[in-house]
Structure 1
C-alpha cells in the first residue's frame, strides 16, 4: 500500500491527470479536475477508471474496448475511489468492471476488455482529406480572456494541444442533412512514456470526451471556439464507448472526425473516429449526451 496522495495543487501533464494511488488489492484512489463548475470532468473519470482496470491485467494484454455510464456528477473537491472486479481471465481475453465511488455512491461504471495481440487480415475506412494542425488557429487564444468556460485555459492549456478545423473551411467532406459534423486535432502537450501503451490509451479516453457532446449540440449552438456569448445549453455525458483498433501514440497529433446522426428527447448521439497523421484508423467512439436548453432571459 502506498501513502495517500493529497489533492494536486497543480496539473502540468497527462501523467498528473491519470495518477492513482493503490490503496488495497483492486482499490485505487484519484483526484479529478472540474470540467464545469463543481463537476468532475467525465473524460478524466473514465480515463482513471481504465488506468485502474489496466493495473489488474497481466502484462501483454492490451485494452480493445470500453463501455462506461455516468450516473452522478463527481465532486472535484473530493477524491474518487475506483473498485475493480476481475470478471474473467481467459486464454486471449480479460474482462474488468470498475465502479468509481464518491461518498459511498457510484458515480461512474466501466466495463473494459483486454486481449493478447494477434495477426489477422487488415482493412479500414479512409481518413478525411483535411488540413493538418500546423496552420489552424489555437482555440486557447480565444479562451484566454476568461469567462464561465475558461477552465480549459488552465488545466487544458498545460496538458493538451487542440486545433479545430473551422466549419466553413472549404474542402471538407459534405455534411449530410441532419448530421452536423466537427473535425478536431488533439494530442498530449508533453511526451508520454513510449513503453506504456496503457498510458496512451487512457490519455485518448480523456481526449475523446472533450468535444463529442458539443458535436451533438451543433444544431443548437456553435462550438465553444466560435461562440461570442456564454453557452445556453446544458451538456453532460450519459454514456461513452470506445474501441481501439491499432497501436498509436497520444502525444502525436490525431484527427478526431465527429458527427451526430440524432438528437431528441433531451439526448444527442455523437460518433467519431481517431486517425493518425498517416491515415491509420486507431480508435472509434460513440457517446450519448444530455442536451437541454436554458430558458432565455426576459427582455
Structure 2
C-alpha cells in the first residue's frame, strides 16, 4: 500500500483538517534560549503522549473497508504503537503491534491498555520486520509503517500546519527529533520554506548520514547504546530520503548527556515531562548545534518516560 502514492502538501493539509476535528492543537510555547525567544511544540501532551497519534489516525482513517476488516500490523518501540492502537480503537479496527522486549514498560502497558495485541521480539537478535511480515502473511492485515508510509508522513506533517497557525507565520526553521524521518519529511511538506533540521542520537544518525551520502545507510552491529529508545530505526526509507534530499539541512547528532540536560531543562523551565527521544531536538538547540531565531520551532515529540529513569535524570 505504501507504494501507491507520494505524500503531498495537499495531503498534509487534509490530514491536519481531519486531526483538528478529533484533537485539540498541542501548545506552542515561547521560551528563551541563549537570549532568543523560540517556540516549543509540545507534542508530548497528545492523548498518547506523542506526535505519532497524527500519523496513526491519518493512515487508519484512510483504510478501505476490506483493510479495516483484516486489521493492521505495526512495528514500534512504543509511541507509534500507541498512536496506531488509539486510532484502531476509535475506528473499531484490530491492531497487532510488534514491539521490542526491552521497550519501556510504560509504553508496553499503555499499548495494551488501548486494546492492541503485542508480539514481542528480542532487540538485537530478531528481525522485527520479518516478524511483522509473517503476521501479515498469516492474517492479511495491512502494515502501518512507522515512518515509511505516505499517509503516516502526511499525518505527522499536520503538526507543522498547526504551528504555522499558532505562530502566525511559517517558521524559519524547525528542529525535529528524528528516527526514520517520517516527522521531518512531513514537516518539510507542511512548511516548504522552513529549514528542517533532523536531530538523531549519536551513532543512530541514519537519516543524517543518508542525507550526506545520498544513499540509504544502515546502522552497524556496533551502533552504540542510546537512551533514545524511540529513535533507533536501523535505516530510513527511500520515500523519506526522497522528500528530504536537497530539502533538509545537514543532520544533527546529540549524545545522551545532552539529551538528559534537555529533559532537566524542559522540566524546570516548561514544566514538561519529556522522554529521551522526545527531547533530542531541544537538546540540539540547548547545545548550540542549530541556529535559532524568533521564528524557530522546536518539536518536543514524546513524553512517555520511564518513571524511574526520568526521576534519576531529573535528580541529576
**TM-score, length of structure 2 as denominator length:** 0.25
Larger Rg: 1
Structure with the larger strand share: 1
TM-score (ref. length: structure 1): 0.27
Higher helix share: 2
